[in-house]
Structure 1
Amino acid sequence: MTEKSSARRHGRRRVKRSPVGSSPGTLIADPSASKPALSVTVMSASGFKTFQDVSPDDIRRLKSEWPTIWVDCVGLGDVGLIADLGKIFDLHALALEDTVNTGQRPKSDFYDEHGFVVLYAIDDDENHRFEQIAVFFGDGFVLTFGERPGDPFDPVRKRIEVNGGNRLRARKADYLAYALIDAVIDSYFPRIEAIGAEIDQVEDEIMECWEHAQMGALHHARHDLIVLKRWLWPLRDAISGLIRADATYLTAETKLYLRDTLDHVSSQIEITETYRETVTSLIEMHMSMAQAKTNEVINLLTIVSTIFIPLTFLAGVWGMNFDHEASPWNMPELHWYYGYPAALATMAVIGVLLFLYFRWRRWL
């Protein structure tokens, strides 16, 4: 199996669960998970600062000094560090367990002091690889947990750096959480558009010149659309849950922006469904064209065989070894002076007449 074909299977992820019988909220790291790297962005209406490779003690200090703090944890291989973050921000144990046990269904949960959202981002578009992103947010803080380096948050980071009338820095943490969630959802649009371009190209190729390899491209496109559907449908429910939530740390103004995010998800679902129908139609058309070509070949071979049947019959008759000296009725034409050219001429006339008849009946 090639690396690319193996990567396509990341759409069917295994959920990494705690051992059977363990207590709820048990944190067990995946042995293959990378070690966490923490980065912190603190902000206020007047400014911001960003810190790399911080410790839990640094986070406690920054949390008390700034009105809004964003902690970005990349890597889930150290459950001790994740548990420390949970204590600092009073995160629920069940939410932390879902963070460590990747492969969760996209969802949104709400606790007394914070909200929790699970969603998926495309972290390797070339190999169609997704990673789980967990977002915690409450009064004055946002935490994001990713499996690997690379995320769609760069547009948000650039917006934080803009000076003058910066809404991200001036508003509460729930607006920052919205911006991060919206960035993940918007990152699906380029992939969806790329799939649409691939489908259009294959459709043009099929109409221009049918080939067997086109079926593989269509199946790959359908697989990618199925994976997108798997993450987008529950994600729409998660965003709807955020809009309906009755939590003090989620303001009505932020919910208005989340409605726009919900429109984006709904639009992506509609586009993927349209593309899936298009791919299904193209697969059916490709199979019909393959059947038509097969029938065309069979028809041609049948016509050729039909033309040669009487010729083979004549050749078989004239090839029988009867003794002419025993009886004058035994193949007298074999002793004709022009017997051979007459036989060839007879065969040629029969073949031409059959060919003209097939053309007249429009079988050719």
Structure 2
Amino acid sequence: MRILIEKDGKTMVESADLDDVRAALKDQETLLWVDLDGAAPDESRQVLTQVFDFHPLSVDDALVEIHVPKIDDWGSYLYTTLVAIRPDRPLDDIDKSIELDVFVGANYIVTCHQEPVAAIDLVWNNLLHNEAQLQRGSKFILYQLIDALVDEYMQMIDYLDAQVDEIEDTVIIKPDKKMLEDIFSIKRSLLNLRRIVSPQREVLNKLSRGDFEIVSQKERMYFRDLYDHLVRVHEIIESLRDMVSGALDTYLSVVNNQLSNIMKTLTIITTLFMPLSFLTGFFGMNFFSASGQLNHLTSSVSFFLAMAVMVFLPILMFLWMRRRDWM
């Protein structure tokens, strides 16, 4: 747990001093940020219920991971669930995302997460180097957090877009099993990303249209900007899903064409050897021995004539098939 307190233009960072937290809560001129980073559930529950006096239902929601963005109005504070991702890794499983629970009051913000979140570290360091931003209030910190998360979504989209472009460049030349696995991995990543972005877009919509008294008119403008960004992200996701579906159709078409060519080649080979099988089968029958009238069939001339037929007949059939564009 780490604590950031801003008062009278001065920033103080503490590791885990709850007495300072209680004192800051009583002073409306003080801005407080408590980050419960990987804290044990019992410790988090103690801080959320005994120090901040949050409603037990909102605390239960924060301590149980659901990976679905939402927002609830509890009068004096807002509780929202956000979702962070790792932009450089496939999101083929929704459990690979990181849930970020946020409590926002008039002069405080509390973040709760079990795994490190790059967006929190980024905003935290920015505030330490630019103390003027702390004076803009707790909702502005929430805005910065969501903005950093949206940037992660865009990085994930760029990562998936590059993979799709690579697949489209090679799918016709060399389709293989790994490529098919990559296509389905991208499809699952886009689906899970849409499951995150769609409800989070509704969270931003509520924050921007004035559903909550705690959010002022001036602060709604920032959330409206984020809402527009998420709308654009959602549209790009849908476009990428169409591109992936097209790449999958192309892959299946190329594989089917390859299979058709293989079957075509095998059929041609079978057809070329069919007359040879007939000749060898016919003259190989031992129903009778050669009589005086058929002795010429066992002569050297007959042997070489049969061999010539067996050699030149497949060649003639091959040329005939080429002329008819069957090959």
TM-score (structure 2 length as normaliser): 0.91
Determine helix, strand or coil for the equivalent of 2:68. coil
2:258 partner letter: K
Partner in structure 2 of residue 4 of structure 1 = none
Query: How far apart, CA to CA, are the structure 2 residues paired with 1:121 and 1:227?
Result: 12
Partner in structure 1 of residue 253 of structure 2 = 288
Asked whether 1:143 is paired with 2:143, we answer no
Give, in angstroms, the shift of residue 154 of structure 1.
Answer: 2.6
Asked whether 1:57 is paired with 2:19, we answer yes
> In 2 relative to 1, CA 178–295 (structure 1 residues): closer, same or farther, beyond 3 Å?
same
Aligned CA RMSD, in angstroms, stands at 2.1
Among candidates 187, 204, 218, match of residue 222 of structure 1: 187
Among candidates 127, 134, 144, match of residue 160 of structure 1: 127
1:294 partner letter: L
Query: How far apart, CA to CA, are the structure 2 residues paired with 1:213 and 1:104?
Result: 29
Query: How far apart, CA to CA, are the structure 2 residues paired with 1:139 and 1:145?
Result: 18
Poorly superposed stretches of 4+, deviation over 3 Å: 62-66, 123-128, 245-248, 322-327
Once the two structures are aligned, what percentage of the paired residues are identical?
26
Among candidates 131, 142, 152, match of residue 98 of structure 2: 131
Maintained 8 Å contact 1:124/1:130: no
**Aligned residue pairs, count:** 322
Give, in angstroms, the shift of residue 91 of structure 1.
Answer: 1.9
Query: How far apart, CA to CA, are the structure 2 residues paired with 1:150 and 1:361?
Result: 66
For residues 26-65 of structure 1, what are the alpha-carbon distances to aligned partners after superposition, in whole Å with 9 as ceiling and x for unaligned? xxxxxxxxxxxx111112462312222x143332134346
1:212 partner letter: K
Asked whether 1:204 is paired with 2:166, we answer no
Give, in angstroms, the shift of residue 147 of structure 1.
Answer: 1.5
Query: How far apart, CA to CA, are the structure 2 residues paired with 1:333 and 1:42?
Result: 113
Among candidates 49, 54, 58, match of residue 95 of structure 1: 58
> In 2 relative to 1, CA 48–326 (structure 1 residues): closer, same or farther, beyond 3 Å?
same
Residues 55-64 or 180-189, more deviating: 55-64
Query: How far apart, CA to CA, are the structure 2 residues paired with 1:258 and 1:162?
Result: 23
Query: How far apart, CA to CA, are the structure 2 residues paired with 1:96 and 1:120?
Result: 17
Give, in angstroms, the shift of residue 124 of structure 1.
Answer: 7.8
Give, in angstroms, the shift of residue 127 of structure 1.
Answer: 6.4
Give, in angstroms, the shift of residue 181 of structure 1.
Answer: 2.0
Give, in angstroms, the shift of residue 100 of structure 1.
Answer: 0.7
Give, in angstroms, the shift of residue 210 of structure 1.
Answer: 2.4
1:252-291 equivalence runs, <5 A: 252-291=217-256
Determine helix, strand or coil for the equivalent of 1:73. strand
Maintained 8 Å contact 1:131/1:146: yes
Maintained 8 Å contact 1:243/1:258: yes
Query: How far apart, CA to CA, are the structure 2 residues paired with 1:306 and 1:358?
Result: 10
Structure 2 gaps of 5+ residues are none
1:57 partner letter: D
Determine helix, strand or coil for the equivalent of 1:213. helix
Query: How far apart, CA to CA, are the structure 2 residues paired with 1:247 and 1:297?
Result: 66
| Between structures 1 and 2, the one with greater helix share | 2
For residues 285-310 of structure 1, what are the alpha-carbon distances to aligned partners after superposition, in whole Å with 9 as ceiling and x for unaligned? 11111111111111111111111101
For residues 339-358 of structure 1, what are the alpha-carbon distances to aligned partners after superposition, in whole Å with 9 as ceiling and x for unaligned? 22211111122111111110
1:1-364 equivalence runs, <5 A: 38-44=1-7, 46-52=9-15, 54-64=16-26, 67-75=30-38, 77-123=40-86, 125-126=88-89, 128=91, 129-163=96-130, 166=132, 168-326=133-291, 328-329=293-294, 332-364=295-327
Query: How far apart, CA to CA, are the structure 1 residues paired with 2:273 and 2:44?
Result: 83
For residues 216-264 of structure 1, what are the alpha-carbon distances to aligned partners after superposition, in whole Å with 9 as ceiling and x for unaligned? 1101111111111111111111111111234332111111011111112
> In 2 relative to 1, CA 325–247 (structure 1 residues): closer, same or farther, beyond 3 Å?
closer
Query: How far apart, CA to CA, are the structure 2 residues paired with 1:81 and 1:119?
Result: 18
1:114 partner letter: Y
Query: How far apart, CA to CA, are the structure 2 residues paired with 1:177 and 1:150?
Result: 14
Maintained 8 Å contact 1:153/1:184: no
Maintained 8 Å contact 1:108/1:238: yes
Query: How far apart, CA to CA, are the structure 2 residues paired with 1:81 and 1:310?
Result: 84
Query: How far apart, CA to CA, are the structure 2 residues paired with 1:284 and 1:246?
Result: 44
Query: How far apart, CA to CA, are the structure 2 residues paired with 1:161 and 1:67?
Result: 15
> In 2 relative to 1, CA 313–246 (structure 1 residues): closer, same or farther, beyond 3 Å?
closer
